[in-house]
C-alpha cells in the first residue's frame, strides 16, 4: 500500500495499490494474529508513524486499549466487524473513529481494517452546507457601507491623535480593510472558485490573529495564550487574510471554551512540520501533501458528544447565542486553501485540539 512505487496499468487506469494510496481513510491489512502487514498513507497519518514502523506490530498495540467487546471481535479472525464512534488511543491522543474489519475470502485469517476519523473535515454534505452559507453572503454588501464609514472615521481620528496612539487608528483601518476583503470572499462562498494563495509565514499570521484578539478584548479574563512554534517551519501556501480569519475564529472559540475550565484557562497554539507523514487531501483529482500543521488547543470542557460529528456543519453551535456559522466558514476557507481541518479530544489531558493541515509553498505550483 504505502511501501512500493505506484505505477499505472497498461490502459492508464490506476491499479489497486494506487487506489488504496489515494483513499482519505486509513486502510490496514492484518494477518490471522492481528499483526499489521501493510498500510496506506492515510493509516500512516492517523497512527502517526511510518509504514516501516507499523508493519510487524500488533494492531491492538497501535490503537488500544479498546472496548473489550470490540477487541474480542477484532481478534476473531474470520468475523466481520463494524464499530461506530469508537474511542482509540493514538500516541498521546484519544481519537474517535468508525472501524470496520472485513475478512478476505480465500485467505483465511486475513482482514482489511479501515479507520475513519470522526470530526475530520470530509466532503460529506459539503455542497449543502455551502449552499446554506449563501444567506450571510446575501447580506455581505450591506456591511460594506458602515465599514467604509468606520475606516473614514479612523483616518480622521489618526490626524488628531498623538503619535503614541496613531498605531491604534492604523490597526482599525487595517482590520476594516481585511474584513472588507473577507466580505468579498463571503459573497463567493457558494462558488467553487479558490481564492488567491501565495507563500505565507504561518507564525506571522498567528501573531497577527492573537494581536487582533487582544486589541478587541478577545483574550480578557483568566486565559493564557502560549506559543509552541517550530522555528524551522517553511512557508505555507495560503491566502493570508483567510488564514488570519480562520485563526481568529479558532482562537476565539478556544477562549470561550477555556473560560469554562475550572481554574485558569489556557490556549496553546502549536506549529510543526509533519516530516515524512504529510497528510494528503484529494483536490481536483490529485493528492496534495499537507505537511504544515497548526494546532489550537484549549483546556475547556470539550465539545458536547452529541455535536462532535457535526461541528463543521452550518447552524450547529453549542453556544446559547451562537449562530453556528463560524466553524462552517472556517472549513470553507481552509478548503479554499487546499487544506483540511479536524478536531479531537484528549480526555486524559483534558484538552480539545483543532488541527489545520496546509500545503507547503513549494509543493504546489
Lowest-confidence pick of 90-99, 171-180, 311-320, 348-357: 311-320
- What is residue 6's predicted lDDT score, i.e. its pLDDT? 45
Q: How many residues does the chain have?
A: 365
Q: How far is CA 274 from the centre of its chain?
A: 14
- What is residue 219's predicted lDDT score, i.e. its pLDDT? 53
First-last CA distance in the chain: 27
Adjacent-strand bridge partners of 296: 269, 354
Q: Reply yes or no on whether the pLDDT at 234 is more than 50.
A: yes
Cell numbers that stand for 178 in this block: 481585511
Domains of the chain with CATH codes = 16-117 (3.30.450.20), 196-363 (3.30.565.10)
Average pLDDT value for the chain? 77
- What is residue 129's predicted lDDT score, i.e. its pLDDT? 47
Q: What percent of the chain has pLDDT over 70?
A: 71
- What is residue 124's predicted lDDT score, i.e. its pLDDT? 41
Tell whether pTM > 0.85: no
- Over residues 12-36, the mean pLDDT reads 79
Q: Are 96 and 308 in contact (CB under 8 A)?
A: yes
Cell numbers that stand for 118 in this block: 470522526
Q: Reply yes or no on whether the pLDDT at 200 is more than 90.
A: yes
- What is residue 15's predicted lDDT score, i.e. its pLDDT? 67
Cell numbers that stand for 36 in this block: 499489521
- What is residue 261's predicted lDDT score, i.e. its pLDDT? 58
Q: Reply yes or no on whether the pLDDT at 212 is more than 50.
A: yes
- Over residues 187-207, the mean pLDDT reads 76
- Over residues 245-258, the mean pLDDT reads 90
What sign has the CA pseudo-torsion 291, 25, 38, 338? negative
pLDDT band at residue 275 using 50, 70 and 90 as cut-offs? low
Per residue in 108-127, pLDDT (tens digit) is 889 999 998 775 544 444 44
- What is residue 10's predicted lDDT score, i.e. its pLDDT? 59
Q: Reply yes or no on whether the pLDDT at 192 is more than 50.
A: no
- CB within 8 A of 53, min separation 6: which ones? none
- What is residue 311's predicted lDDT score, i.e. its pLDDT? 76
Nearest Cα to Cα of residue 294 among 337, 262, 257, 326: 337
Residues 58-88 as b or e (16 or more Cβ within 10 Å = b): ebbebbeebeeebbebbbebeeebebeebbb
CA distance 342 to 349: 18
Amino acid at each position: 500500500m504505502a511501501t512500493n512505487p505506484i505505477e499505472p496499468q497498461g490502459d492508464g487506469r490506476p491499479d489497486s495499490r494506487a487506489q488504496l494510496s489515494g483513499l482519505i481513510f486509513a486502510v490496514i491489512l492484518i494477518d490471522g494474529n492481528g499483526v499489521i502487514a501493510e498500510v496506506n498513507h492515510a493509516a500512516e497519518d492517523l497512527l502517526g508513524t511510518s509504514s516501516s514502523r507499523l508493519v510487524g506490530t500488533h494492531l491492538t498495540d497501535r490503537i488500544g486499549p479498546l472496548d473489550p467487546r470490540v477487541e474480542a471481535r477484532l481478534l476473531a479472525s474470520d468475523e466481520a466487524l463494524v464499530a461506530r464512534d469508537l474511542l482509540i488511543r493514538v500516541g498521546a491522543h484519544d481519537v474517535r473513529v468508525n472501524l470496520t474489519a472485513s475478512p478476505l475470502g480465500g485467505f483465511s485469517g486475513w482482514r482489511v481494517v479501515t479507520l475513519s476519523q470522526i470530526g475530520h473535515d470530509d466532503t460529506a454534505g459539503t455542497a449543502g452546507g455551502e449552499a446554506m452559507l449563501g444567506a450571510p453572503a446575501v447580506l455581505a454588501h450591506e456591511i460594506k457601507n458602515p465599514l467604509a464609514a468606520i475606516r473614514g472615521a479612523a483616518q480622521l481620528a489618526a490626524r488628531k491623535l498623538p503619535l503614541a496612539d496613531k498605531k491604534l487608528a492604523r490597526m482599525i483601518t487595517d482590520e476594516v480593510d481585511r474584513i472588507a476583503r473577507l466580505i468579498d470572499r463571503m459573497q463567493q462562498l457558494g462558488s467553487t472558485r479558490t481564492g488567491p494563495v501565495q507563500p505565507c509565514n504561518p507564525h506571522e499570521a498567528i501573531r497577527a490573529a492573537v494581536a487582533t484578539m487582544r486589541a478587541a478584548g478577545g483574550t480578557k479574563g483568566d486565559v493564557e495564550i502560549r506559543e509552541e512554534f517550530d522555528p524551522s517551519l517553511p512557508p505555507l501556501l495560503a491566502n493570508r487574510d483567510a488564514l488570519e480569519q480562520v485563526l481568529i475564529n479558532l482562537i476565539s472559540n478556544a477562549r470561550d471554551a477555556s473560560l469554562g475550565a475550572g481554574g485558569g484557562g489556557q490556549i496553546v497554539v502549536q506549529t510543526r512540520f509533519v516530516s515524512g507523514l504529510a497528510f494528503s487531501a484529494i483536490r481536483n483529482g490529485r493528492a496534495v501533501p499537507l505537511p504544515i500543521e497548526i494546532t489550537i488547543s484549549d483546556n475547556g470542557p470539550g465539545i458536547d458528544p452529541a455535536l462532535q460529528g457535526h461541528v463543521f456543519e452550518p447552524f450547529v453551535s453549542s453556544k446559547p447565542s451562537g449562530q453556528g456559522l463560524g466553524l462552517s466558514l472556517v472549513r470553507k476557507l481552509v478548503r479554499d486553501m487546499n487544506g483540511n481541518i479536524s478536531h479531537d479530544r484528549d480526555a486524559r489531558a483534558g484538552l480539545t485540539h483543532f488541527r489545520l493541515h496546509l500545503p507547503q509553498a513549494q509543493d504546489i505550483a
